[in-house]
């Protein structure tokens, strides 16, 4: 009599594990769809702003994820703060950022980081996602003109 009850209690856990794998596959497909093509002539700072907005949302979501340790969540809160400043500064200096030679590659890197961070939330092992996030923040900061790089 207890065997069917035991099977019912085990099956939802297995479905939950499979759902994480499926979500990672779906995220990879979204990453390919959302990342702009290398030769896209209409590529501009608005794409970077949209990508930064998505990354900020993913970082804020990740602060509540159990895939990250407490110390890592504190780092994610710091990253969310820095990304908020970057959003403001990129928005303020949009015309200057439009001339940056690394704009398209940086936007693709931001989109990839967003999907990687969301995959970490689904699949676990968050330690590998934090350091590339801070390196990406520095890369975005270097796109800005020197006057826009300073905190105001």
Q: What is the pLDDT of residue 79?
A: 92
Alpha-carbon distance 70 to 73, whole Å?
Answer: 5
Which of 20, 35, 9 has the alpha carbon at shortest distance from 65?
Answer: 20
Q: What is the pLDDT of residue 17?
A: 45
User: Number of helices (H) and strands (E), helices first, in the chain?
Assistant: 7, 0
H/E stretch holding 7 reads helix 2-34
Residues 104-124: tens digit of each pLDDT: 888 889 998 898 888 877 776
Using DSSP's 3-state secondary structure scheme, residue 121 falls into helix
Q: What is the pLDDT of residue 6?
A: 41
Contacts of 106 (CB under 8 A, 6+ apart): 48, 100, 136, 139, 140, 143
Residues 58-85: tens digit of each pLDDT: 999 888 877 788 888 899 999 999 999 9
Which of 24, 73, 51 has the alpha carbon at shortest distance from 139?
Answer: 51
What does the mean pLDDT of the chain come to? 74
Q: What is the mean pLDDT of residues 39-57?
A: 82
| pTM > 0.75 | no
Q: What is the pLDDT of residue 125?
A: 65
Domain locations along the chain:
2-149
Alpha-carbon distance 6 to 63, whole Å?
Answer: 34
Q: What is the pLDDT of residue 34?
A: 52
Q: What is the pLDDT of residue 41?
A: 54
Q: What is the pLDDT of residue 105?
A: 87
Please state, as a whole number, how many other Cβ atoms lie within 10 Å of the Cβ of residue 31.
Answer: 17
Residues 3-33: tens digit of each pLDDT: 444 444 444 444 444 445 545 555 555 445 4
From residue 38, alpha-carbon distances to 13, 35, 95, 117, 132 in Å are: 41, 9, 20, 23, 22
């Amino acid at each position: 009599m207890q065997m069917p009850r035991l099977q019912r209690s085990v099956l939802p856990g297995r479905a939950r594990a499979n759902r994480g794998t499926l979500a990672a596959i779906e995220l990879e497909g979204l990453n390919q769809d959302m990342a702009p093509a290398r030769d896209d002539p209409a590529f501009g700072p608005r794409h970077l702003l949209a990508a930064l907005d998505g990354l900020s949302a993913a970082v804020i979501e990740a602060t509540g994820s159990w895939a990250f340790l407490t110390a890592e969540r504190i780092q994610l809160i710091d990253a969310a703060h820095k990304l908020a400043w970057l959003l403001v500064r990129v928005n303020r200096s949009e015309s200057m950022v439009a001339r940056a030679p690394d704009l398209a590659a940086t936007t693709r890197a931001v989109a990839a980081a967003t999907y990687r961070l969301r995959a970490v939330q689904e699949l676990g092992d968050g330690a590998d996602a934090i350091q590339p996030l801070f390196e990406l923040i520095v890369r975005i900061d270097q796109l800005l003109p020197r006057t826009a790089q300073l905190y105001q």
